[in-house]
Amino acid sequence: MTSLDPAVACIKYLLFAINFIVWTLGAILLGVAIWVRGDGGLWEYTDNLDIERYYIACYLCMAAGAVILVIGFIGCLGAAMESPCMLIVYFALTAVAIILQIAATVLVWKIAGGDRLQRVLSDELKWHIDRRNTDETSRRFLDLIQLKLDCCGAETFLDYQKVNQDIPVSCNSERTNNIQIRSCGENLRRFLEIRGGAIGGICVALILVEVGSIIFTMCLFFAMKQETKPLLHNY
């Protein structure tokens, strides 16, 4: 093992610190992905609405989180042992993790939030309302989403009256027994924005830190290569 100059030693210790941050964020990403994936309501929503990309993003984040946990260990070990081979493996795994995180971020941010997302969701909910009296799956789905998200109708509870249907009991508040004021399009948008924002935000933060780790890794790699050249010449 060669003795690195102070500047390179500083890079090595910075790489230790960055890897600790990456490992911590990776654990958080894995935990958030499991939390979102474990929500039974999300499974029901993706099964009946065109939002399966949120579900796919959860699996991508789980894979990225698992890779990142390994990356943190390899990065620290490679820097401590001053092993160019381990640093190359670290670089390759970090690139894979970044690709997975970019894919997950694109999936959850594919449709812009706010009014546009709400219109898309409301239109799909209206389709289920039209079929509610003839399709048991649509009826069960609407009852579930109205009970879980404390909402009624796609845009308003009047959506049922517009198609000559009675307002379902699932629209009533459990506390007051009054009809819920908020629409399911609005509440579902908030539901997805919170989870999509959490996944996308952590992924973006991780990507920024990982880019920094790649830069320091390459600096350390080439520095170690330079340090070994005099030894090779001596032989």
- Taking the C-alpha atoms of 160, 162, 165 and 170 in order, what is their torsion angle to the nearest 10 degrees? 10
Are 147 and 42 within one domain?
no
Is residue 18 domain-resident?
A: yes
Is residue 178 domain-resident?
A: yes
Cα–Cα distance for residue pair 99/190, rounded to 1 Å = 27
pLDDT at 111: 56
pLDDT at 128: 92
Is residue 212 domain-resident?
A: yes
Residues 196 and 109 sit within 8 Å (Cβ to Cβ)? yes
Parent domain of 45: 6-110+203-230
Cα–Cα distance for residue pair 47/69, rounded to 1 Å = 31
Are 182 and 103 within one domain?
no
Indicate the number of domains in the chain.
2
Residue with tokens 């069960």: 140
Residues 170 and 139 sit within 8 Å (Cβ to Cβ)? no
Residues 207 and 98 sit within 8 Å (Cβ to Cβ)? yes
Q: Has this prediction a pTM greater than 0.75?
A: no
Is residue 1 domain-resident?
A: no
Residues 78 and 93 sit within 8 Å (Cβ to Cβ)? no
pLDDT at 19: 82
Give the residue ranges of the chain where pLDDT is below 70.
1-5, 7-8, 39-44, 46-48, 82, 110-114, 227-235
Are 98 and 17 within one domain?
yes
Are 103 and 170 within one domain?
no
Are 61 and 19 within one domain?
yes
pLDDT at 210: 87
pLDDT at 42: 63
Are 95 and 123 within one domain?
no
Are 169 and 220 within one domain?
no
Is residue 20 domain-resident?
A: yes
Give the total residue count for the chain.
235
Are 44 and 121 within one domain?
no
pLDDT at 107: 79
Is residue 211 domain-resident?
A: yes
pLDDT at 113: 58
Are 60 and 154 within one domain?
no
The token duo for 13 is 């210790």
- 85-90's contacts with Cβ under 8 Å and 24+ in sequence apart are 87/217, 87/220, 87/221, 87/224, 88/221, 90/217
